[in-house]
Amino acid sequence: MTNPDPRELLDLALEAARKGGELAARGQRGISVLDTKSSPTDVVTEMDRATEKLIRDVLLGARPDDAILGEEGGAARGSTGVRWLVDPIDGTVNYLYGRAEWAVSVAAEVDGETVVGVVEIPVRGLTYSAVRGQGARRNGEPISAAAPVELGMALVATGFGYEARRRRKQAQVLSTVLPRVRDIRRVGSAAIDLCAVAEGSVNAYYERGAYPWDWGAGALIATEAGARVGGLRGTPPNHDLLLAAVPGLFEQLHDLLEPLGADSDD
Ligand code: IPD
Ligand code: CA
Ligand code: CA
Ligand code: CA
């Protein structure tokens, strides 16, 4: 199978994210909870599902033999070596409350390596994108992560997965981190947090319990902007830890988080 042209994958990701964002934005007013997932606060709306379906239709309409992994269960097995990671609405709780901080996240992996990422924030009119090896962009203009900073002067974004069993541990970890940094931000969208690292509007972001659709696009965008993105002890980002920061700060935060143990009550 010949490798697809990353520019073509980027154009398709941009189209899917734009159409998904337009649909979701039109449906935000008056939206209500349709169902819950891992806990009563882990909600899904009708628009999470409808947006994922639209994105899936756009992607598979153009490339019917690709694989897809979507948050709302939209899996497709493919045969091309290309897999799409889709979070139709990252920041569903913000979406539910009529807030602006939610994003559509679409990434393309080729043979397991992310090559394209798009994060669209419809209400803000912002599109972040990256192609592996070609830098990161916001609305087409190059962006780069903040200059190196000491941990004590770092503005650190974080997120909290909604699984009830994680919450107490997340609070304990935060109580260790908060006194060691400049301040904490909890925006409510992992994809937006990673783009904030990419543009330097925070110095770092960490979360435990995130999923590939949360970080697929944003991790590439942050990496291409000059940040380091990874998990514990040299691993790629994973469910145990998703950490993004400029080199130097990355290691300091990693060494603070690493001894704090697994992120669950059990
Ligand atoms: C959530 C958001 C949130 C993060 C959670 C995610 P969703 O995604 O990214 O910021 O802290 O871990 O589950 O459910 O709104 O797509
Ligand atoms: Ca969700
Ligand atoms: Ca998400
Ligand atoms: Ca989501």
Output the residue whose Cα is nearest ligand 1's atom 15.
91
> What whole-number percentage of the chain has pLDDT above 90?
85
Residue 160 Cβ contacting ligand 1 at under 6 Å: yes
Fold match between 6-143 and 151-260? no
Across the chain, mean pLDDT equals 94
Ligand 1 pocket test target in 55, 71, 162, 264 with most atoms within 8 Å of CB: 162
The residue type at 47: M
Query: Is residue 79 within a helix (H) or strand (E), and if so which, with residue range?
Result: none
CATH T-level assignment (fold) for domain 151-260 = D-Maltodextrin-Binding Protein; domain 2 (3.40.190)
Q: How far apart are CA 47 and CA 109, in angstroms?
A: 25
Q: How far is the CA of 150 from the centre of ligand 2 (A)?
A: 33
What does CATH list as the number for 6-143?
A: 3.30.540.10
Residue 188 Cβ contacting ligand 1 at under 6 Å: yes
User: Which residues partner with 119 through β-bridges?
Assistant: 105, 128
Residues 6+ apart with CB under 8 A from 127: 14, 17, 18, 118, 119, 120, 121, 138, 139, 140
The residue type at 228: R
Exposed, middle or buried: residue 112 (CB in 10 Å: 0-12, 13-18, 19+)? Answer: exposed
Contact 152, 121 (CB under 8 A): no
Q: Where are the alpha helices (DSSP H) in 33-163?
A: 46-62, 92-96
Number of neighbours of residue 22 by Cβ within 10 angstroms: 15
List CB-based neighbours of ion ligand 4 within 5 Å: 71, 87, 89-90
Structure ipTM: 0.97
Q: Where are the domains of the chain?
A: 6-143, 151-260
| pLDDT band with cut points at 50, 70 and 90 for residue 1 | low
| pLDDT band with cut points at 50, 70 and 90 for residue 262 | low
**pLDDT, tens digit, 9 for 90 and up, residues 124-181:** 999 999 999 999 999 999 999 999 999 999 999 999 988 888 888 899 999 999 999 9
* Predicted pLDDT of residue 266: 44
